[in-house]
Amino acid sequence: MIKVTKNILKDIYKPRPLDARKYDFGLLLVIGGSDFYSGSPALSAMAAFRSGVDMVRIIAPKRAADIIASFSPNLAAYPLEGKWLTKEHLATLISMTESAKVVSGGNTAVVIGGGMGRTEETQEAILEYLSQVQVPVVIDADAIHAIGKRPELISGKNFLITPHTYEFFVLTGKQVYKLPDKEKIKVVQEEAARLGATILLKGKLDIISDGKEVAINNTGSPLLTVGGMGDTLAGIAGALMARGTNIFEAGCAAAYINGLAGELVGKKLGESMTATDLIEAIPEVLSNI
């Protein structure tokens, strides 16, 4: 079993060559949001930028995309017609994913799930997209609820699933919230092997497994229960995957970065900490590699 330390960042964040070009360090697509929720994809995108990805493109229903575009000139948001994702949008999603692969020379990853909602048509659209996509994907939030219905779709793909304990139950049918850490680690490893994917179970102790290897991360803070902290984790993981980091290592490093950023800002702000505060602490984490 591996204990995640800052040494993992040394393997990922090596000096960029002087002749580096745009997209050499990743193009991330963030698919999320709905008529009611706009913050989630924005938080993932901002965390991804702070984690060193070259570019982020957000794809969201129109109201969410318009709001997100107003947050920052750094954020490029493509609007989909309607209030939430449906199968009518699949051709656009696949086309934009393939286009991202071409323009980035394959340095592409996707984050999907945040703020999408759980209407039947949205869940079916998520499943259809995941069955077709051929790039690394971080599956978070509402997308976890979707694959809980048809987990066979993810087997053998370069997918990182980032559940908290209830989402883990939705995904696997296994209750792990009250289990001792040793038993919890065993269950996560078994389920990752069964599903053919990498799981990052979020908690006081983050557990990451691809079914073979297991890692634990103990950076973090009780303040990470605040809304949006899972979105930042997903964005960090997506940024690392887009720049070519393997799925298991990306999950480990993302848990470490998100947790330590939360620790640092939590000591300063305490109960007042928000997800955007955590994002602004990511540079401090990366500056101490």
Any residues with CB less than 8 A from the CB of 148 and at least 6 apart, and which? 170, 171
30 — pLDDT class (breaks 50, 70, 90): very high
pLDDT tens for 60-78 read 999 999 999 999 999 999 9
What does the pLDDT read at residue 253?
Answer: 98
Cβ–Cβ under 8 Å, residues 213 and 2:
yes
Q: Position 59: which residue type?
A: I
**Phi and psi at residue 199, to the nearest 5°:** -115, 135
288 — pLDDT class (breaks 50, 70, 90): confident
289: pLDDT strictly greater than 90 = no
> CA–CA separation, 273 vs 253, rounded Å?
22
162, 166, 181: which is closest to 233 by C-alpha?
162
Range 2-283 has CATH code 3.40.1190.20: yes
> CA–CA separation, 98 vs 222, rounded Å?
39
pLDDT tens for 148-200 read 999 999 999 999 999 999 999 999 999 999 999 999 999 999 999 999 999 99
Three-state DSSP class for 90? helix
0.95 surpassed by pTM: yes
Q: Which residues of 136-173 are buried (b: 16+ CB within 10 A; e: fewer)?
A: bbbbbbbbbbbbbeebebbeebbbbbbbbbebbeebbe
Q: What is the largest CA-CA distance in the chain?
A: 51
120, 117, 121, 110: which is closest to 162 by C-alpha?
110
> CA–CA separation, 258 vs 282, rounded Å?
7
212: pLDDT strictly greater than 90 = yes
> CA–CA separation, 44 vs 57, rounded Å?
11
pLDDT, averaged across the chain:
97
Any residues with CB less than 8 A from the CB of 261 and at least 6 apart, and which? 232, 278, 279, 281, 282, 284, 285
